[in-house]
Structure formats: C-alpha cells, structure tokens
Chain A
C-alpha cells in the first residue's frame, strides 16, 4: 500500500515505526485501537498522558517549521507519520484540533506573542483545543453565527451557544467564531477568539450521538471572558481566519488515513471469511469493489503528493473529502451486512457496540462534518468547474 518514497523517507518511517512499537507497551498498551471516531469517550486520561508523551518525543506538529518548534517534515513524511500511526493502532488523537487546525491558523494569522503563548502547549500535548464554529442556526451556513463577543475592559465577554463541539469536555481552550459587530451582516463583523474553557462562564453539556456515546457537546457562553490579546487576525477579520482553518481541516491528515481504512477493510474481509458471507456473490463483489475503491483513493493521494510539494490544494481536498467520505460510509454498510444477524444485537451492556456496528453508525458523520457532501459538491461545481452560482 505504501507510496513510493525516497530513502530518507524510509529512514523516517523506520524511526516512527520503532518509536510507536516501543511507546505502545506497558501503561500505554491498552491504548491500541482506543479513541477515534465513535470511540472518543474511551480512556480519556490515559490518552491525555499519551498526548504529552507524543509531544515530549517531538511527534506533534512535525510539519511545522523548525523555527516554530516543528520538524519541518515534508508532506510525504507527514503522510508517512499518519500511515504508521494508523498501522500501529495508536489511539485517536485528543490533540488533533490544536495540532491540525489552530496551530496552522496561528502560524498563518497569529501574532508573534500568540504563537509564543500557544504553540508550545500544542506541541507538548499539554493544552487541548476544541473548535467552536457551529451553532444551532449556523451549520453549513457558518456566516449565520450569532454568538456575541463584546469588548469589556481589556478583553471580551461572550454570550451565545455553540453546538456539535467535539471534545469540548476535555479541551482547555476553544477557538471561537463570534460576532463582535452586532450591526454587521453575515461574514462581516465576525472575530476569531481564543477562549479558556475552564471558567464559570462556560458550560459544556454532552450530546448523545448515534452510537449512544458522546464525543461532541453543546457549549454555552454565559458572560464567558477572554483577553484582547487572544483575538486572532484583528477585530472583524474572523471570517478570513476561520476559512483558513477550514482549508487546513481538509488537508494532509486525510492522506494518511488510508492505512486505517485498510485495517478496517481487512477486518471486514476476515469476518466475511470467518462467517461464510464471502461466499455470497453480492457480498464478495461489494468487498472487491471496496478494495478497488481504496486503491483508487491511494492512487489519487500518490498523485496529489507528486504534484504538490507543500500542501494539499483546496479543491483537491474537496475531491478527496467526497471520495473518502462516501467510501467510508459504504464500508460501514458493508461491515454491518457482513456481520449479518449478529450485527443486530449489542455485544454487551446497554448499548455496547461491535466494531462493525460502530463503523456502520459513525461513518454516517463523515459525509456531514468538515463540510458536508453537498457543500463539497457546491465548491467543486462552482470553483473547479466554474458553473454559475
């Protein structure tokens, strides 16, 4: 499955592979396979400790410039990191929103002071972040954000509600899109604020998801406070900064996730072989189609990597988002069909689900978050194909 890489990349691969093999033993051994989509509730404290261990070894922010505390790793190496991470079954990252969304945003839009204050916490795995964009009235249409931030003394006071906020219950900080100019419409008058989560003005209420577990929350700001030094990109520039973050969200980590997908597909194949459903011509053909679909994503990633030295261009990211979200959702359905009647009953407890059940249910979110399928199609049609609005 691996893309062809230069020798220096192979050395890098060997290094991270060996480190993970050593790291996921002893106290961290239970983390193998824990966390991630549909399992974000698992082993939170141990995973927080794992973040700090990763950080101490310099494995967070490897693609950031050396001056910013990263390793300046190439795009190919970042993909290798994600591949090896998934191959090792290392746990779902609690720090990914800081590392992949806020960090790059601060590198692009933050002041030197902001970088100095916040990047080390991300790189060391000691400060965890959540993303406060969506609201009850502002989902795909993010410009409908209504949460208010008013100047008060040398800071801001926030009032309003965010929703679907992943990992808000473990986060130390939240990057919030809020309205600083109540008279301004839509994407004007918005600001990008960094808000501490552990204060009385912030309340987090878990939302039970389709899997019966909770990884996202409602977040209520009730006179929550943050300092004016935590405004990124200037007052009123929030839309531009937030759009930058969305670009990062559709970026490099999805290129490496295919190893995780391959593991999931192999599990489905093993199950189908064990329970005999592989003999069913329809199941067999769907499995082969899934295997082929994974290869096509692989070849697409190889091509993207070959054509862009330092980042995934936005439009290719939209194509890849649709490609993998659909593939993964279909895999979820294949997994539950392969499980057969066994997949209809919980494996234990009140609603303790099997891998196939979790995959079937949680993969439904892939086509919603990070820009829904429909939103991605709008982007491709209008910006790539140039169809009129």
Chain B
C-alpha cells in the first residue's frame, strides 16, 4: 500500500477531475437512451488519469496500484454514480494481473497502451450454458448466451466464464470479433447499460489463471466497494436535505422518527464500510479468507446500500419519486448491485456452505 499522503493526493486528483467532469446533475441531463454510459468521460479519464490501467502492473505499462489503492479511485467514481466501465475494467485487470498466462499479459499491455475497457460476463441465459472447445488449429471458440452484461455492447473486451468439458474457465473475447452479437437492453438502472451477449463459435483466448472463482471474488469485492461508496454519498445527501427541508415550522430532520431512521442507516452503513474495507485487504492479500469474505461483503454491502437508497426516496417525499432528483438513480443502482453476479440469497448460501453451516 502506498503512503497515506500519496493516497490522499491521488483521491484528491480524481475527485477534482470528477467534480469538473461528472457532476451528478450532468448525469441527470443525459436523456435515455444516451444515459447509462458516458464514453466521453471514460476516454478523458483514461487519458488524463490513466484509470484504465490502475492496477495493471508497471512492468506491463500500467500504474501498478494495489487493489486497495485502486478501490480508493473506484470509490470516487462510485459515490458520483459515474456511468462507465471502470469497475469491470479494474476487476478484469486485477484478475489478469494474477493470471500467469501469455494471453493475460498481452491483454494487460494492450490495456495500458490502448486503454482497453472490459465487461465481465458470468450470468448465463437459462438453458444456454456457455461452452468452449478447441478447433483443429488449436484456437479456442466459445458458444453460449450471457445476459445482464454491464456495458457489454460498449466495451472492447469481454471476460467470459464458460465450461470446458464441464470445468469452468475464463476466456477473453474481443467484442468486435465475428461470432459475437451484442444485443443492447435498456436497463432499469440508468447508471449502467446492459447487453445480452450471444457467442456463436466466437474466437477466444483462455486466460484461466486462478480460475473463475477468483474472478467472481474480485467482482464481489468491487461491488461491495461501489455499494458503500454510493450509499455514503446517498446518506450524506439525504441528511443534508433533512436539515433544510421545513415542515410544521421546523426542519424535518428534527423529528425523532426521522432521526432514528437515519441513525439506523448510519449503523448499517458503518458495518458495511468496515466489511468492504476488510474485503479489499483480503482481495489484496489473495489468501484463502477471500473466498468467504468476498461473497459476504457483496451481500452485506449491497443490502446496506439498498436500505439507504430506499430510505432516501422515502425521506425526500415526492421529489424523491421523480426524475428531477438523483434519489431514484441510487435506488436503481442499489437494486442492480444486489442482483448482479449473484443475489444476496445465493451468496449467503455460499457463505453458509463455506462456513460449514
């Protein structure tokens, strides 16, 4: 981990950039279907801040940040709900950095050089389990359907989980390759675009490494970080509103019924933040503990975010129910965080299994 001063400086640089470029008000002005993905902002962030290669090792031309430092940058993006491929790209590059394969190393170098963006495709369409096979020339081909792929139609590279002889593995697929169809789907959540990805003998590189388990672990930790960052912003914004909105001749935040709900949010969020922080350290350490901590953190943090976001809508009253205020963006983003890459119920069962319960 870099020194506290360096971390603070880095966060400030990113925050200043985003304050200039990614005001949440700007988010609200992107009308559908142009919402959900701010490609222009992403390009500038890659050029000016190098965010595409945060955790790409220096030896491959990246910034070489630790996962924990990368998470600090992600936090700045997440609290503003910046719509773009940072989260998946950071997870993908962190995963590839742990992979010791030539194809992985080549992708990392290209990421640093060309600013590749990634999407991680794990969710299968029911009845269409993805499979990989080797062709006569020794190259891999994938077939299958993936759904709810975040920014799946916008990014350069898809990291896809698929089975080879029944064994799960991770492949990289060029989004523009033949045999890849990307069907955009309007998202419930305006801060993300979605695609269904249909692979029909699509050329692929096997980047297996630590395996799909580790890819999901990193994704879960990143979603935990994203959740608590956005939830913190949402809570702060809500509390600020409660201090100024007057009804019955006093600020509504002075009513105890409201105070207690805010206090409960603060307690829930404090626990979730500590959990996310712990999970980030575990992801960095790469030890055994991560396999329990990652699904635990994702479910705890996404649930905490949902609680805060739902309360934010309620405590704003009518305005919270409109497109004129950002409360709904948080609510929709929170629901997506709960569902993406495994629901809370699935993840808790996984935690229980690993805990031997």
Interface residues of A (CB under 8 A from B): 269, 278, 284-285, 287-289, 291-292, 295-297, 299-300, 302-303, 316, 319, 322-323, 374, 376-378, 380-382, 384-389
Q: Are B275 and A295 in contact (CB under 8 A)?
A: yes
CB interface residues, B 206-257, toward A, < 8 Å: 239, 242-243, 250-251, 253-254, 256
Interface centre among B266, B273, B300 (most CB of A within 10 A): B266
- Residues of A near B242 (CB, < 8 A) are 387
User: Of all chain B residues, which has the CB nearest A269?
Assistant: B357
Q: Are A302 and B274 in contact (CB under 8 A)?
A: yes
Please give the number of chain B residues whose Cβ is less than 8 angstroms from any Cβ of chain A in the complex.
35
B299 contacts the other chain (CB 8 A) = yes
Q: Are B263 and A376 in contact (CB under 8 A)?
A: yes
B351 contacts the other chain (CB 8 A) = yes
Distance between A154 CB and nearest chain B CB, rounded to angstroms: 46
16 extra interface residue pairs, beta carbon distance < 8 Å, beyond A292-B348, A319-B266, A384-B266: A284-B352, A288-B351, A291-B351, A292-B296, A296-B272, A300-B274, A303-B274, A316-B270, A323-B267, A377-B263, A378-B259, A378-B260, A386-B243, A387-B242, A387-B251, A388-B243
- Residues of B near A299 (CB, < 8 A) are 271, 274-275, 277-278
**B interface secondary structure, majority:** helix
Q: Are B263 and A292 in contact (CB under 8 A)?
A: no
Distance between A277 CB and nearest chain B CB, rounded to angstroms: 12
Q: How far is the CA of A332 from the CA of B57 in the complex (A)?
A: 49
- Residues of B near A380 (CB, < 8 A) are 262-263, 266-267
- Residues of A near B251 (CB, < 8 A) are 387-388
| Given contact pairs A289-B348, A378-B259, A296 touches B253 in the complex (Cβ within 8 A) | no
Distance between B74 CB and nearest chain A CB, rounded to angstroms: 19
Q: Are A278 and B264 in contact (CB under 8 A)?
A: no
Q: Are A288 and B357 in contact (CB under 8 A)?
A: yes
Q: How far is the CA of A386 from the CA of B266 in the complex (A)?
A: 12
Distance between B112 CB and nearest chain A CB, rounded to angstroms: 33
| Given contact pairs A385-B239, A387-B243, A374 touches B260 in the complex (Cβ within 8 A) | yes
Distance between B227 CB and nearest chain A CB, rounded to angstroms: 14
Q: Are B274 and A322 in contact (CB under 8 A)?
A: no
**A interface secondary structure, majority:** helix
Distance between A2 CB and nearest chain B CB, rounded to angstroms: 12
Q: How far is the CA of A389 from the CA of B242 in the complex (A)?
A: 12
Distance between B70 CB and nearest chain A CB, rounded to angstroms: 19
| Given contact pairs A285-B348, A288-B348, A380-B263, A386 touches B271 in the complex (Cβ within 8 A) | no
Distance between B281 CB and nearest chain A CB, rounded to angstroms: 9
- Residues of B near A303 (CB, < 8 A) are 273-274, 277-278
Minimum-distance CB pairs A-B, first 7: A381-B259, A377-B263, A288-B352, A380-B263, A299-B278, A300-B274, A387-B253
| Of the residues B260, B296, B348, contact of A381 by C-beta under 8 Å | B260
Q: How far is the CA of A144 from the CA of B92 in the complex (A)?
A: 61
Q: Are B300 and A387 in contact (CB under 8 A)?
A: no
B34 contacts the other chain (CB 8 A) = no
Q: List 27 A-B contacts (CB under 8 A).
A: A278-B357, A285-B345, A285-B348, A287-B352, A287-B357, A291-B352, A292-B296, A292-B351, A295-B293, A295-B296, A296-B272, A297-B271, A299-B277, A299-B278, A319-B270, A322-B263, A323-B267, A378-B259, A380-B263, A381-B263, A382-B259, A384-B266, A385-B259, A386-B239, A387-B254, A388-B250, A389-B254
- Residues of B near A386 (CB, < 8 A) are 239, 243
B355 contacts the other chain (CB 8 A) = yes
- Residues of A near B277 (CB, < 8 A) are 299, 303
| Given contact pairs A287-B357, A299-B278, A319-B266, A292 touches B300 in the complex (Cβ within 8 A) | yes
Distance between A368 CB and nearest chain B CB, rounded to angstroms: 16
User: Of all chain A residues, which has the CB nearest B272?
Assistant: A296
- Residues of A near B345 (CB, < 8 A) are 285
B349 contacts the other chain (CB 8 A) = yes
Q: How far is the CA of A26 from the CA of B145 in the complex (A)?
A: 68
Q: How far is the CA of A278 from the CA of B355 in the complex (A)?
A: 14
Q: How far is the CA of A300 from the CA of B274 in the complex (A)?
A: 5
| Given contact pairs A289-B348, A377-B263, A296 touches B243 in the complex (Cβ within 8 A) | no
Q: How far is the CA of A381 from the CA of B261 in the complex (A)?
A: 9
User: Of all chain B residues, which has the CB nearest A289?
Assistant: B348
| Of the residues B275, B349, B355, contact of A296 by C-beta under 8 Å | B275
- Residues of B near A319 (CB, < 8 A) are 266-267, 270
| Of the residues A287, A302, A376, A385, contact of B262 by C-beta under 8 Å | A385
Q: Are A288 and B266 in contact (CB under 8 A)?
A: no
